[in-house]
Amino acid sequence: MSGARRWAGWVVIAVVVVGLLAFGSYQRGPQSDAARAQALDETIRCPQCSGESVAASDAPIARSIRNTVSRMVAQGQSDEQIRDYLSSPNLYGQEVLLDPVNKGFGALVWGVPVAALVITAAAVTLKFGDWQRRGNRHTTAADRSLVEEARRGAGADPS
């Protein structure tokens, strides 16, 4: 396969992956208040339950938090303001957020995998390039004499 065709394959894969990621994370237009509240409810943990969002739980406090989210959305508060209010230390703390915040120490959760991926990809690329360059090296006179010597040794050995 020619170099150009091989690269074309990689480019197609990269375009498809980036396209799908962009499609998946795209915010579709202005959401209705109910949809926004529902989306927020799904990111907030029910403090009384184990690992359940307030959207999924029917516990009294989950209902109270859903009401609070709906009221704050109707008041025009931003998603961040609502999440900050509920996760303030006086109320339920950071543990109430099901998806970690992307600032401060919580940013590590998002940053470390990305950094690991980039570093690994870079290292693999460099190493492959290195191996490829070595593979293209021409045999030297010293290599030939080594092989010749080994052959003679094998020929002399009767076993």
Partner 1 sequence: MNVQDRPAAGGTPPPPGRRRTALISAAVVGVVLVLLVVVLATRKPASTDPHNSALVGQPAPVLEGRYVQGNRVEMGDGSHFVVVNFFAAWCTTCVQEHPQLKAFEAEHARTGDATLVSVVAGDTKANARDFFHANGGGWPVVYDADGRTAVAYGMIKVPETYVVDPAGTVIYKFSAGVTKDALDSLIAQAKRQGA
Q: Which is nearer to partner 1, 24 or 60 (by Cβ)?
A: 60
Kindly state the greatest CA–CA separation across the chain: 95
DSSP string, 106-131: GHHHHHHHHHHHHHHHHHHHHHHHHH
Q: Which own/partner pairs from 22-25 qualify as long-range (CB within 8 Å, at least 24 positions apart)?
A: none
Figure out which of the listed residues 8, 16, 42, 63 binds partner 1, where binding follows CB under 8 A.
63
The span from the CA of 10 to the CA of 120, in Å, is 17
Q: Which is nearer to partner 1, 60 or 153 (by Cβ)?
A: 60
Of 115-154, which residues contact partner 1 (CB under 8 A)?
none
Provide, rounded to whole angstroms, the least separation between the CB of residue 44 and partner 1: 11
| Strand, helix or coil for residue 97 | strand
Locate tokens 């949809």: which residue?
A: 35
Count of positions on this chain that bind partner 1 (CB under 8 A): 19
> In angstroms, what is the C-alpha Rg of the chain?
30
| Interface with partner 1, residue 104, by CB under 8 A | no
| Interface with partner 1, residue 77, by CB under 8 A | no
| Interface with partner 1, residue 64, by CB under 8 A | yes
Q: Which is nearer to partner 1, 3 or 89 (by Cβ)?
A: 89
| Interaction site with partner 1 (CB under 8 A) | 47-48, 59-61, 63-65, 67-68, 71, 86, 89-93, 95, 105
